[in-house]
Chains A and B, each alone.
Chain A
């Protein structure tokens, strides 16, 4: 356990040193403020809109951005150390491959969690003050849940990136594979589902389709955040079909945790077999 924390500590300090933490925090903060300020531009006005509107727009944008950032952060976890020539030496230390990989996961997860919390949280506080919604407890719960699920979404993609980093032998291939993973989960998957829905002309029924949504962490994140807002359910097509006990926000957050555990376990398993 101690070794895990030592590795995690180094990764986190590296994140501070090479400005990853700062960069991600600023991107998230400006994104939130920008969306809030210009969010109402379509209706002909600018100025800070309510936090509820901001959360909905922010969730849609976070789906593109967070996976990309997480993949960039971790795609070279193992393959990078391998190319750098430090992996061999690390493995001769009293440290199992699993401890090394999990330590790196914890370090990267902390980088993303701190950036998300400070970036979105700081911006959220500012928006709340400017729009005079500080006293709305329900709203803060929704915003808190948004940050939590955004962190979980990031962790899913860190786990996926780590899996990629143990599967390939070169950094450039890991980068390519990370890009493909992003493309698949963020763009292609939803288009495919939509295509199936249109081709079946709606006859196939929504229920199994909504289960298919659980196979994509970005969709789980979307459902979790949109499901919380009754008004949103009305006009978002995909989210409207997902109903039932499993589609409550906290159940969906638990599914995101599964989406972290599975790729990470696969990565640990693969890493163990790769080195010995």
Chain B
């Protein structure tokens, strides 16, 4: 396997703001990588560095073996697809005309446009002006634009923002199809649900630093984050709750009808089995650790490391 993107001790400063620091990361060909983190964590900055739109302040970056810049690496840029956050197009052109312009600029076959429009579900609206498109339709057009010329490296900045659930689902099936073709994909997100099953590895960024990098299951296990079980029911006493607390779950009473248990993932099944026996139980909710919790954990950990060193 060869590294298609490589960050080596990379840093980027905008004035006095350190947007990225000491970032070392390599992406192998054919991988699907999730860049996770809150706004301002450095996700978009990382993508702009890969595209050569900005230059690093420190360290090095290699994309397909070259240092990206606007002047050089045209051959490389032909192999890269990019969907920016809040993508915008020429309002007075139709979707098909927009794609034709970008395809010609990229040196991609104009003949694939019809099929791409079909794939993102815009075939019916292809000849309408972009001005009339909804946010979701613009996002789909942006995706079609990124897929022009069958890129080897695809970068998607918040690809599901503005998409409805059905379109999000279609997007993920497109992603799986790309995986089959061997396309390397970098996608950023500030939400965890949805992308979990589709990324090979996730890089968690916070405050411009790489907090963790690995498969999501491994990250979750590494963080050993507690999960939460919420229950609702009609009961006279909550004495039964003690047996569940005994499995290692801590109890919090929200009101007489609502209780919340928090504890390790290993206790989940035992606790659920006990809960289902309880008289008067009406509803059970299991909440896996959110990106927020994961993020907070790795953030704390890195702060701790810094204090030690």
Which chain A residues have a beta carbon within 8 Å of chain B's beta carbons? Answer: 3, 6-7, 10, 14, 17-18, 84-86, 88-97, 272, 275-276
B82-90, B175-183, B267-275, B284-292 - the one binding chain A: B82-90
Distance of B22 from chain A, by nearest CB (Å)? 23
A94-B105, A94-B107 are known contacts. Are A275 and B92 too (CB-CB below 8 A)?
A: no
Which chain B residues have a beta carbon within 8 Å of chain A's beta carbons? Answer: 51, 53-55, 69-71, 74-75, 77-78, 80, 82, 84, 86-92, 101-102, 104-107, 145
Question: Are B53 and A88 interface neighbours, CB within 8 A?
Answer: yes
When A and B form their complex, which 10 residue pairs have the shortest distance between CB atoms, in order from nearest? A85-B88, A94-B74, A94-B77, A92-B82, A93-B105, A92-B51, A6-B104, A94-B78, A10-B101, A276-B70
* Chain A residue at minimal CB-CB distance from B102: A93
Partner pick for B105 among A84, A95, A276, CB 8 A cutoff: A95
- In the assembled complex, which residues on chain B have CB atoms less than 8 Å from the CB atom of A96? 70-71
> A275 to B101, alpha carbons, bound, how many Å?
22
* Chain A residue at minimal CB-CB distance from B101: A10
> A275 to B84, alpha carbons, bound, how many Å?
16
Distance of B110 from chain A, by nearest CB (Å)? 12
> A91 to B51, alpha carbons, bound, how many Å?
9
- In the assembled complex, which residues on chain A have CB atoms less than 8 Å from the CB atom of B104? 6
Question: Are A92 and B53 interface neighbours, CB within 8 A?
Answer: yes
Chain A, interface SS category: helix
Distance of A206 from chain B, by nearest CB (Å)? 48
> A94 to B101, alpha carbons, bound, how many Å?
13
> A132 to B241, alpha carbons, bound, how many Å?
109
Partner pick for B92 among A14, A88, A91, A92, CB 8 A cutoff: A14
Partner pick for B53 among A6, A272, A275, CB 8 A cutoff: A275
Distance of B196 from chain A, by nearest CB (Å)? 28
Partner pick for B77 among A17, A93, A97, CB 8 A cutoff: A93
Could you name 19 residue pairs across A and B whose Cβ atoms are closer than 8 Å?
A: A3-B105, A7-B105, A14-B92, A17-B92, A84-B90, A85-B84, A85-B86, A86-B90, A89-B82, A89-B84, A91-B51, A91-B53, A91-B70, A92-B77, A92-B82, A93-B102, A93-B105, A94-B78, A94-B105
- In the assembled complex, which residues on chain A have CB atoms less than 8 Å from the CB atom of B74? 94
> A90 to B102, alpha carbons, bound, how many Å?
8
> A192 to B169, alpha carbons, bound, how many Å?
68
- In the assembled complex, which residues on chain A have CB atoms less than 8 Å from the CB atom of B145? 89
Distance of A260 from chain B, by nearest CB (Å)? 24
